[in-house]
Amino acid sequence: MKSDSPEYLAKKAFFDKVLTIYGRNAVMEALEDPAVTIHKLHLSKSNKDAEVLEKMKLIASQRGIEVKYHDKTSLSRISKNAKQDQGVALDIVLEHYGDAGSFIAANDSYRIIALDGVTNPQNLGMIIRSCAAGTVDAIILPSKGAAQISPLVIKASAGTLFKMPIIKTSSLKKTLEFFKQKGADLYTLSSHASRSYKDQNYGEKTIFVLGNESDGVSPQIESLCDTSISIPMQRGVESLNVAVTASLLAFL
């Protein structure tokens, strides 16, 4: 069996970190942020003259960003949202995207938040923001069955998305199993757990698993976890929003 060439693997690794956003406001905000690494600006040939488009082209020229022109159908294939792309799309390079193997190789100790079926983009953005501000070293984000990086997530994260290491996975179960094999301890949150999250002694390799907004952590993921901890609450409150929970864990 023929193995992939180093050139192909390097190209694949690069494009695995590329995120395409769309919409004139989101694209302009990214273009104006020097901290954002940009691969390419896409514009529809059918766009009518507009000041914002001229400004985009000017910034692209100043930053040395390639500009590609497409017919409307081709652009919609790039943006994957013909109804809302407004004739523009932008390829952003997420420098902190990576895989589990690369992360473990580079980190002897860590605290990670893994997301199991978190579907609300606003929640995802706020989780990213809290983790970037706190002591979390990475977020594990499944590529299916969960909110994905989008203009709404970028806005909710207030730009911290571009600073936060994110481990993408096609199988959360397999990724968590891999981390366990490498010595990580996995925790879930439960109102029924007897030990408070503040009283638990954490090891050097810790992963907190947060679940879906309505159903919590799925049974197959919960079965992998070592310990369940609780956030003590008063006045009969049963649970917290997943983004609020992430914030508390991020500042442990």
**Would you list the domain boundaries of the chain?**
6-93, 97-250
Residue range 19-58, pLDDT digits in tens: 888 999 889 988 998 878 999 999 999 999 999 999 999 9
Containing H/E element for 125? Answer: helix 121-133
Task: Say which residues have a Cβ less than 8 Å from residue 48's Cβ, sequence separation at least 6.
Answer: none
Question: Residue 139 phi/psi, 5° resolution?
Answer: -120, 135
- Give the predicted TM-score (pTM) of the model: 0.81
Nearest to 42 by CA among 90, 93, 83, 94: 90
Output the pLDDT for position 119: 95
Q: Which residues pair with 185 in a beta bridge?
A: 206
Specify whether the backbone of 188 is left (phi greater than 0), alpha (psi in -120 to 50) or beta: beta
Distance, CA of 190 to CA of 27 (rounded, Å): 40
Whether the CA torsion 75, 77, 82, 88 is positive or negative: it is negative
Looking at 3.40.50.2300, 3.30.1330.30, 2.130.10.10, 3.40.50.10540, the CATH number of the domain 6-93 comes to 3.30.1330.30
Do the beta carbons of residue 85 and residue 43 sit within 8 Å? no
Distance, CA of 23 to CA of 26 (rounded, Å): 6
Output the pLDDT for position 228: 96
Residue 40 in tokens: 């390419």
Low-confidence ranges of the chain (pLDDT < 50): none
Residues, the chain? 252
Nearest to 128 by CA among 161, 151, 99, 102: 161
Distance, CA of 164 to CA of 112 (rounded, Å): 11
Nearest to 157 by CA among 14, 29, 53, 20: 29
Q: Which residues pair with 112 in a beta bridge?
A: 138, 207
Instruction: State in words which class domain 97-250 has.
Output: alpha beta
